[in-house]
Structure 1
Amino acid sequence: MGKIAERPETGKLFFDFRFGGKRCREQTALDNTPANRKKLENILKRIEAEITLGTFEYHKFFPNSPRAKEFTKQAELMRTREAHDTPLFSTFAADWLGEMNIQWRRSHASTVEGTLKNYLNPHFGEKEVGCITKKDILDFRASLAKVTTRSGKHLSASRINRIMTPLRMILSEAANRFEFSSPYHGIKSLRVPRTDVEPFGIDEVKQIIETVRADFRNYYTVRFFTGMRTGEIDGLQWDHVDFKRRQILVRQSLVQGRLEYTKNDGSFRTIEMSQPVMDALNDQKKATGNMEFVFCTRTGGPLNHNNVTKRVWYPLLRHLGLRKRRPYQTRHTAATLWLAAGENPEWIARQMGHTTTEMLFRVYSRYVPNLTRRDGSAFERLLLTEFDAKTDPSKESD
């Protein structure tokens, strides 16, 4: 156990403790007074606690000490020795991807594969996974901010974070397996600006449904009044439409041309059909009832959402003079229309596939000013009532 002692020749206090198998004495400029002793004893407690936890860094407490340089050099040599026992980043990443594939949807695995191929392996592939430093990571992230897309725009903070996530996971797993400290520790994700939803008003919805080409009228009616995601409606099959109970069973999603499990467990849900949706699906059954998919091509195959967006959706918005918005805004529209109609928020959350109502109030409430009377009007009425009663005796109760 360390101690605080006095040098007789100077009367100054010094630290006396053991670290790394060596006795360490570090001089201070403080006189031997009770206050100074207490101050240094508290520092010594911190030092010993960090030594016990294995987090002590000599140079942080004694930056000018020769011992600091000695211990820092030893730590670097030790880390380098350990790092050289680790595989190349590209090799370890390939093994890690193979192990993780079984847990992921095919679309997510494909995205991670693309991130490794296009970004991570070109930069880190030939480095030993244990030799990658925090500076390497930060330099890489800074380089991503300079990358431009085909449209000439820089990568967004959200996109950069998605690229960095597999890197963080790979380094964390490697650190656990090869027993070194992950260099990613302490690096926070970039702050992502909040994006605003842009739902359509009921008049705009009516205009779109009345104007869209006839073979897509039922499709957009169902999109606007169920809040289904693109993959969910494109992957909807007649087996999952229950006309008797007036329900749509969301059990799968079309992702990159393949049917997969829903986005998450909450998305596995049952949607109640309103009358417009019921009518649209009954009408659609006349056209595609003998096919597997509810909305499909002439040959019965599933729709390609990119083609539909480019050839039907965007031209329609331009024709109507409406602001260009992604088809996903039909989902936001369903939520705001339900809220504006006064539907129970818990019921709406279930229809949307949300496990709680938190997102509903956080994302959509501003489009419905009187939702749960949170616009201040109830408070204003209370004040008016109370002040009127006090200023007008005729309004006071007997």
Structure 2
Amino acid sequence: MEKEDGNRTLSNARVNNILWPLISIMIVAAEEFKFDYPFSRYRALREQKADSSPMTLQEVKRFLDYVEPEWYDYFLLRFMTGMRSCEVHGLQLKHIDFDHRLIKVRQNVVNGEITDVKTPKSRRDLPINDILSSSLERITATLSEPDDFLFTNDDGEPLDTRYIGKQVWHPTLKRAGLKTRRPYETRHTAAVLHLAAHENPLYVSQLLGHSNTRLLFEIYAPYVFNAARNDGSAFSDLMRSSGVIKPD
């Protein structure tokens, strides 16, 4: 099926996520009860990863200028740490260590369920700088119990990722006059801006919970070159000033 604009209503990844559990159940049933199941040789559809679209520093500022005040600290945290939305939604007061200035990433909230972070590398401690310290103090000012969530909906329950995207993220992009992109781009933006600020790639990799730095260079290198002005312009200026290149 297609939408009115011609785009498909379901991506290959979504189709795979729907079909594979059903197919797995039917394969087991076919083996158990001895009947032929035509989808036993089904192969997953090829999934195409979405292109990254990190924000520039100016776009981040514009977004934060236009976001509703009650969501300012939420998105500031995401832009500065690169935490996944499910990780941010899983943060409780007990995970904020003001004494040692650390955010302890220990759990996710996915579809309303609290789960452990997905990989050992995802279980990490993030440093709290002065900006984040002020923000987290505002966020936690009304919290008292260790299990209190930092961010909740109107019913006091942990946030839902789809709600954030539909009700907060995309409306703010529209108000700010910024192009449409996924909420996940806060993570990509954090990576690019940290690297553009000449932070150690190993530190940035650990910040994001990556197993190594390879992903940083594969995905973010072109954006970092532009953000940090490491785009060859310095070399061009040198060539011009040395007289190697003739004036136009």
State the TM-score, normalizing by the size of structure 2: 0.77
Query: Equivalents in 2 of 1:241, 1:363: separation in Å?
Result: 30
Amino acid at match of 1:236: L
Q: Could you say if the C-alpha distance between residues 371 and 284 of structure 1 is closer, same or farther in structure 2, counting changes exceeding 3 Å?
A: closer
1:291-319: CA deviation from partner (whole Å, max 9, x where unpaired):
70112245543223333333322222111
**Is the contact between residue 336 and residue 368 of structure 1 (CA under 8 Å) also seen in structure 2?**
yes
1:157 Cα deviation (Å)? 3.1
Alignment-derived partner of residue 209 in structure 2: 353
1:174 Cα deviation (Å)? 8.3
**Is the contact between residue 268 and residue 353 of structure 1 (CA under 8 Å) also seen in structure 2?**
yes
Alignment-derived partner of residue 80 in structure 1: none
Query: Equivalents in 1 of 2:235, 2:64: separation in Å?
Result: 40
**Is the contact between residue 3 and residue 9 of structure 2 (CA under 8 Å) also seen in structure 1?**
yes
Query: Equivalents in 2 of 1:193, 1:305: separation in Å?
Result: 22
Amino acid at match of 2:149: F
Query: Equivalents in 2 of 1:259, 1:205: separation in Å?
Result: 30
Alignment-derived partner of residue 84 in structure 2: 229
Q: Are 1:204 and 2:59 matched, yes or no?
A: yes
Correspondent of 1:267 among 122, 143, 148: 122
Alignment-derived partner of residue 223 in structure 2: 367
Alignment-derived partner of residue 220 in structure 1: 75
Cα-Cα RMSD: 3.9
**Is the contact between residue 56 and residue 227 of structure 2 (CA under 8 Å) also seen in structure 1?**
no
Alignment-derived partner of residue 244 in structure 1: 99
Instruction: Figure out how many residues of one structure are paired with residues of the other and give that number.
Output: 237
Q: Give ranges in structure 1 of 5+ residues lacking alignment.
A: 1-146, 389-398
Q: Could you say if the C-alpha distance between residues 293 and 281 of structure 1 is closer, same or farther in structure 2, counting changes exceeding 3 Å?
A: same
Q: Could you say if the C-alpha distance between residues 158 and 308 of structure 1 is closer, same or farther in structure 2, counting changes exceeding 3 Å?
A: closer
State the TM-score, normalizing by the size of structure 1: 0.50
Q: Greater relative contact order (Cα 8 A, min sep 6): structure 1 or 2?
A: 2
- Aligned to 2:114, what secondary structure does the other structure show? strand
Q: Are 1:307 and 2:163 matched, yes or no?
A: yes
Query: Equivalents in 2 of 1:375, 1:243: separation in Å?
Result: 39
Q: Could you say if the C-alpha distance between residues 246 and 176 of structure 1 is closer, same or farther in structure 2, counting changes exceeding 3 Å?
A: farther
- Aligned to 2:115, what secondary structure does the other structure show? strand
Deviates more, 1:272-281 or 1:291-300: 291-300
1:247 Cα deviation (Å)? 1.0
Q: Are 1:294 and 2:181 matched, yes or no?
A: no
Query: Equivalents in 2 of 1:223, 1:374: separation in Å?
Result: 25
Correspondent of 2:177 among 318, 321, 325: 321
1:321 Cα deviation (Å)? 1.1
Q: Could you say if the C-alpha distance between residues 167 and 342 of structure 1 is closer, same or farther in structure 2, counting changes exceeding 3 Å?
A: same
Amino acid at match of 1:354: H
1:206 Cα deviation (Å)? 1.5
1:266 Cα deviation (Å)? 2.0
- Aligned to 1:368, what secondary structure does the other structure show? helix
Query: Equivalents in 2 of 1:222, 1:327: separation in Å?
Result: 13
- Aligned to 1:254, what secondary structure does the other structure show? strand
1:380 Cα deviation (Å)? 8.0
Q: Could you say if the C-alpha distance between residues 156 and 362 of structure 1 is closer, same or farther in structure 2, counting changes exceeding 3 Å?
A: same
Q: Could you say if the C-alpha distance between residues 194 and 383 of structure 1 is closer, same or farther in structure 2, counting changes exceeding 3 Å?
A: farther
1:153 Cα deviation (Å)? 2.4
**Is the contact between residue 234 and residue 303 of structure 1 (CA under 8 Å) also seen in structure 2?**
yes
Alignment-derived partner of residue 50 in structure 2: 195
1:261-288: CA deviation from partner (whole Å, max 9, x where unpaired):
1122221111122322111001112233
1:230 Cα deviation (Å)? 0.9
Query: Equivalents in 2 of 1:211, 1:371: separation in Å?
Result: 22
- Aligned to 1:271, what secondary structure does the other structure show? strand
